[in-house]
Amino acid sequence: MNKNVWTGFLLGAVVAFLASYLFPKIFPASYAQSMGGSSLVAATGNYVSGQYEVLYVTDTSARKVAVYRYQNGVLNLLDVRNIKYDLQLDYYSTRQRPSVKQIMRKVRNR
């Protein structure tokens, strides 16, 4: 029984090696795509235990974030926020939900 297991394992390894050697390009190679000089950064995630997908798009030069929801084949814009003034704060409590105008006033009064 032990000899049969080793024979089967070695035969499978030889077949796998020959297949990869003889047919190396069955599937196209996958490469990361560059956005060139673009200032856009995108990230995805699940929300509410996989009920729908979320897409976050950040424009680093305009300092804006957009949030999209993808559900049942439909992409909907949920929110857009200018984060220019958010990023100028040294400290912010997570208990508050200020608007961009409130943050602008706070930054200007520093």
61-105 pLDDT tens trace: 899 999 999 888 899 999 999 999 988 887 676 666 777 778 888
**Which pLDDT does position 75 carry in this prediction?**
92
Task: Say yes or no to pLDDT of 26 above 70.
Answer: no
Bridge partner residues of 22 (DSSP): none
Report the chain's mean pLDDT, rounded to a whole number.
75
Q: What is the Cα–Cα distance from 52 to 30, expressed in whole angstroms?
A: 26
The dihedral through the CA atoms of 100, 101, 106, 110 has a sign that is positive
Task: Say yes or no to pLDDT of 30 above 60.
Answer: no
